[in-house]
């Protein structure tokens, strides 16, 4: 049989096999059986070596063209099969975006009201240009007391019912922080190496006191606030608290009363009372002529500034501290503080928040419609 006859048959059968390849793997087999080392076209090309010069001059270009045609056909078929495979994959991965979101484990989980309220507080103060600072739960005496102008013999130390650790190797007794005020010290100290003053931050977090009844738990939450700048005064403090409380309780206006008090780290010191009205068991905030105490505040004591190396002749500022659990109870009508930390799923399901419901001033602070669903 002449080589040319054979090559026509080879081409016909390979072309048919290419056209019949239904997937990329089959097409690859066809390619190997034609163009691979031991393939039919490669074998054909090898026969050129045994030919006379004239015959080779004729068959050489013909065989090479045959190889090129087959290569092209394979490439064309490959492109078709690849596009089919992609379409099939896309079709199989298609999702109907108009379907409603199904109830899944993510939706049945709940955000604890304390976390929710911390996020709400942070969103409001962030909008006013405050940073959010953090400090350790385990503190030393200096940051929790001394630097805050509460010296060793000060009666305020007894007031705090502190949880102390056993003395460490250096004889130092660490403690669980009794308030978030030490974060004032740590953040201002850190600022000395870099950014501040001025300072403007809040510090929400856990605090601990050896105390337990219906309105006290050994672990509770506070939010500290501090602003230190050259001309910061009590008017700024009052406006900040008022604006915060109105935003937090989602009312247009709220009156507050700053009642003279005593804290070692502020001078003058004031207790913060907010306007409210009692309606049976319910407390309505921002109306009426009753008052509810929600925290302490004052102008930062010059000795506190001195402890963090800030010259009180150049800088002054205000500080405040509020109980987060208290704020949560008042806003969401939760009567018993102890239930916060009982880890009772029924309670969490009732008072908790849907995870996707992230508090923000533009999207709504507390999507109350979703709460408790
Ligand atoms: N640290 C105080 C406490 O736990 C609360 C407090 C009062 C914080 C006045 C302040 C402040 O920053 O200025 O009882």
> 20-29, pLDDT tens digit by residue?
999 999 999 9
Instruction: Write down the pLDDT at residue 363.
Output: 65
Instruction: Write down the pLDDT at residue 128.
Output: 96
Instruction: Place 372 in a pLDDT band, splitting at 50, 70 and 90.
Output: very low
182 lines ligand 1 (CB under 6 A): no
Rounded Cα distance between 298 and 290, Å, is 22
304 lines ligand 1 (CB under 6 A): no
Selected from 3.40.47.40, 3.40.50.10190, 3.30.930.10, 3.40.1160.10, the CATH number assigned to the domain covering 111-342 reads 3.30.930.10
263 lines ligand 1 (CB under 6 A): yes
Pick the more confident residue, 6 or 342: 342
**pLDDT exceeds 50 at position 373:** no
Distance (Å) from CA 71 to ligand 1 centroid: 82
Tens of pLDDT along 113-142?
A: 999 999 999 999 999 999 999 999 999 999
Pocket test for ligand 1, best of 160, 179, 326 (most atoms within 8 A of CB): 179
Domains of the chain, residue spans: 3-91, 111-342
Lowest mean pLDDT among 62-71, 149-158, 279-288: 149-158
Pairing of strands 138-139, 175-176: antiparallel
162 lines ligand 1 (CB under 6 A): no
205 lines ligand 1 (CB under 6 A): no
Instruction: Write down the pLDDT at residue 214.
Output: 74
296 lines ligand 1 (CB under 6 A): yes
297 lines ligand 1 (CB under 6 A): yes
Distance (Å) from CA 297 to ligand 1 centroid: 6
Rounded Cα distance between 298 and 321, Å, is 9
Across the chain, mean pLDDT equals 90
**pLDDT exceeds 90 at position 256:** yes
Distance (Å) from CA 287 to ligand 1 centroid: 26
**CB-count burial class (<10 Å; 0-12, 13-18, 19+) for 148:** buried
Instruction: Write down the pLDDT at residue 194.
Output: 65
**pLDDT exceeds 70 at position 270:** yes
Lowest mean pLDDT among 118-127, 157-166, 205-214, 297-306: 157-166
- Cβ count near 187 (within 10 Å): 21
Interacting residues of 167 by C-beta distance below 8 A, sequence separation 6+:
173
Pocket test for ligand 1, best of 224, 232, 322, 324 (most atoms within 8 A of CB): 224
Distance (Å) from CA 366 to ligand 1 centroid: 26
220 lines ligand 1 (CB under 6 A): no
**pLDDT exceeds 60 at position 3:** no
Mean pLDDT of 344-350: 92
Lowest mean pLDDT among 48-62, 147-161, 251-265, 271-285: 147-161
266 lines ligand 1 (CB under 6 A): yes
Distance (Å) from CA 263 to ligand 1 centroid: 7
Q: Are 41 and 35 in contact (CB under 8 A)?
A: yes
**pLDDT exceeds 90 at position 112:** yes
227 lines ligand 1 (CB under 6 A): no
| Partners of 292 in beta bridges | 274
179 lines ligand 1 (CB under 6 A): yes
Q: What percent of the chain has pLDDT over 70?
A: 92
Rounded Cα distance between 145 and 150, Å, is 5
Instruction: Write down the pLDDT at residue 138.
Output: 98
320 lines ligand 1 (CB under 6 A): yes
What does the block give as tokens for 322?
Answer: 């509020």
Instruction: Write down the pLDDT at residue 1.
Output: 39
- Cβ count near 246 (within 10 Å): 19
CA-proximal residue: ligand 1, atom 7 (nearest): 296
DSSP letters along 314-352, please? Answer: T-EEEEEEEEHHHHHHHHHT---GGGGGS--HHHHHHH-
CA-proximal residue: ligand 1, atom 8 (nearest): 321
Mean pLDDT of 9-15: 93
Cis before 46? omega within 30:
no
144 lines ligand 1 (CB under 6 A): no
Nearest ligand 1 atom to alpha carbon 265 = 13
130 lines ligand 1 (CB under 6 A): no
Instruction: Place 370 in a pLDDT band, splitting at 50, 70 and 90.
Output: very low
CA-proximal residue: ligand 1, atom 12 (nearest): 320
């Amino acid at each position: 049989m002449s080589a040319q006859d054979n090559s026509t048959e080879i081409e016909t059968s390979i072309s048919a096999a290419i056209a019949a390849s239904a997937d990329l793997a089959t097409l690859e087999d066809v390619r190997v059986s034609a163009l691979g080392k031991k393939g039919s076209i490669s074998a054909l090309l090898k026969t050129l070596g045994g030919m006379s010069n004239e015959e080779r001059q004729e068959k050489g270009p013909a065989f090479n063209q045959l190889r090129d045609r087959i290569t092209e056909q394979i490439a064309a078929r490959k492109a078709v099969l690849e596009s089919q495979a992609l379409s099939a994959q896309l079709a199989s991965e298609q999702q109907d975006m108009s379907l409603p979101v199904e109830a899944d484990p993510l939706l049945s989980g709940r955000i604890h009201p304390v976390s929710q309220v911390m996020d709400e507080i942070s969103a409001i103060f962030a909008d006013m240009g405050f940073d959010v600072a953090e400090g350790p739960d385990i503190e030393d005496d200096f940051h929790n007391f001394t630097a805050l102008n509460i010296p060793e013999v000060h009666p305020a130390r007894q007031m705090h019912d502190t949880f102390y650790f056993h003395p460490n190797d250096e004889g130092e007794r660490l403690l669980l922080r009794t308030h978030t005020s030490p974060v004032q010290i740590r953040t201002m100290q850190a600022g000395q190496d870099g950014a501040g003053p001025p300072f403007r931050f809040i510090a929400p977090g856990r605090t601990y006191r050896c105390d337990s009844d219906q309105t006290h738990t050994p672990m509770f939450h506070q939010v500290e606030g501090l602003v230190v700048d050259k001309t910061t005064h009590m008017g700024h403090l009052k406006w900040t608290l008022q604006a915060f409380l109105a935003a937090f309780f989602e009312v247009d206006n709220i009156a507050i009363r700053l009642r003279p008090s005593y804290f070692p780290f502020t001078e003058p010191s004031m207790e913060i009372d907010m306007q409210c009205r009692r309606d049976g068991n319910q407390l309505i905030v921002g109306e009426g002529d009753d008052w509810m105490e929600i925290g302490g505040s004052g102008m930062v004591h010059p000795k506190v500034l001195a402890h963090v190396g800030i010259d009180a002749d150049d800088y002054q500022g205000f500080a405040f501290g509020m109980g987060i659990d208290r704020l949560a109870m008042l806003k969401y009508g939760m009567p018993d503080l102890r239930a916060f930390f009982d880890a009772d799923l029924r309670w969490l399901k009732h008072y908790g928040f849907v995870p996707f419901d992230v508090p923000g001033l533009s999207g709504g602070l507390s999507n109350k419609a979703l709460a408790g669903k």
